[in-house]
């Protein structure tokens, strides 16, 4: 059953124009057909009651209990990469339960974007919404404004991980050995050329733990997925 999200909170929901178009033109659903709708992180089975002016209105049939979220909040700080790779990272991180993604400008980033790149942010948030529907989540992760290292160190987290190939880095198993239930975790992923030493040192000086993801050097689009997969395994019930 197809899933949609709404900000409304009542007995009936009018879905967005994009979602209505998907229901009518792609899914070919009609009156009395059922869809899943998430409202305020609650999942409902809903019946289509009309589609006036191509806006689909649905009515709640029943609430469904679903526990599809991680027991901790994970923020991925992703150094900027080319569009196709960024789309892939957003989709897969969403499927693996990420709570928030922070795009990061670094000295070696191939892509350089202004912090007020609103069209990019809107597009990325749309990708996360669609990935949340596909992966049956009840929360849509968010993408923050593009930031730099100086902005990032002002953020507060319980566990702060800097992914690095530095020989003195800590094993990720040890860094994540504590109870993660309810923890706020941030994982920083470098650009394709890696961080410059000064950037890594700034993060380390502000409490980020230099952490190894294993014996092999991973691509930037692989690192976040690897780290999230480990957290999924640790918190699996």
Residue 167, token pair as written in the block: 């020989």
pLDDT band at 38 (very low <50, low <70, confident <90, very high): very high
Are 183 and 236 a contacting pair, CB within 8 Å?
no
Q: What is the mean pLDDT of the chain?
A: 92
The model's confidence at residue 217, banded by pLDDT at 50, 70 and 90, is confident
Strand duo 184-189 + 12-14: pairing: unpaired
Q: Is the dihedral of CA 161, 162, 166, 168 positive or negative?
A: negative
Q: In the chain, pLDDT over 90 holds for what percent of residues?
A: 79
Task: Indicate whether 128 pLDDT > 70.
Answer: yes
pTM of whole model > 0.85? yes
Under a CB-based contact definition with an 8 Å cutoff, are residues 72 and 91 in contact? no
- Residue 16 CB-density burial (10 A; 0-12 exposed, 13-18 middle, 19+ buried): middle
With residue 62 as reference, give the H or E element that holds it. Answer: strand 57-64
Question: What domains can you pick out in the chain, each with its CATH number?
Answer: 3-64 (2.40.240.20), 73-235 (3.40.1280.10)
- pLDDT of residue 68 exceeding 80, the answer is yes
List alpha helices for 63-171, DSSP H.
83-95, 118-134, 149-152
Phi, psi dihedral angles at 196 (to 5 degrees): -75, 155
Instruction: Report the side by side order of strands in the sheet with 12-14.
Output: 3-6, 34-39, 42-50, 57-64, 12-14
Question: Per residue in 79-119, pLDDT tens?
Answer: 999 999 999 999 999 999 999 999 999 998 888 776 667 78
Indicate left, alpha or beta for 217 from its phi (over 0: left) and psi (-120 to 50: alpha). Answer: beta
Confidence of residue 167 (pLDDT cuts 50, 70, 90): confident
Rg (CA), the chain: 20
**The pLDDT of residue 36 is above 90:** yes
The β-bridge partners of 5 are 38
């Amino acid at each position: 059953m197809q899933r949609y999200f709404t900000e409304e909170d009542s007995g009936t929901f009018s879905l967005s124009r994009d979602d209505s178009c998907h229901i009518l033109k792609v899914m070919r659903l009609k009156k009395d057909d059922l869809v899943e709708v998430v409202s305020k992180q609650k999942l409902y089975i809903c019946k289509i009651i009309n589609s006036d002016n191509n806006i689909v209105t649905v009515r709640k049939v029943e609430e469904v209990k679903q526990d599809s979220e991680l027991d901790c909040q994970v923020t991925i700080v992703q150094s900027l990469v080319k569009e196709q790779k960024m789309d892939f990272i957003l989709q897969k991180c969403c499927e693996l339960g990420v709570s928030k993604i922070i795009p990061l400008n670094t000295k070696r980033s191939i892509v350089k974007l202004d912090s007020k790149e609103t069209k990019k942010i809107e597009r990325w948030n749309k990708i996360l919404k669609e990935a949340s529907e596909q992966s049956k989540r009840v929360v849509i992760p968010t993408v923050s404004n593009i930031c730099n290292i100086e902005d990032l160190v002002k953020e507060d987290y319980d566990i702060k991980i800097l992914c690095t190939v530095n020989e003195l880095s800590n094993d990720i198993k040890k860094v994540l050995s504590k109870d993660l239930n309810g923890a706020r975790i941030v994982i920083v992923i470098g650009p394709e050329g890696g961080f410059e030493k000064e950037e890594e040192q700034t993060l380390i000086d502000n409490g980020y733990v230099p952490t190894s993801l294993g014996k092999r050097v991973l691509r930037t689009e692989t690192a976040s997925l690897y780290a999230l997969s480990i957290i999924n395994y640790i918190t699996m019930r």
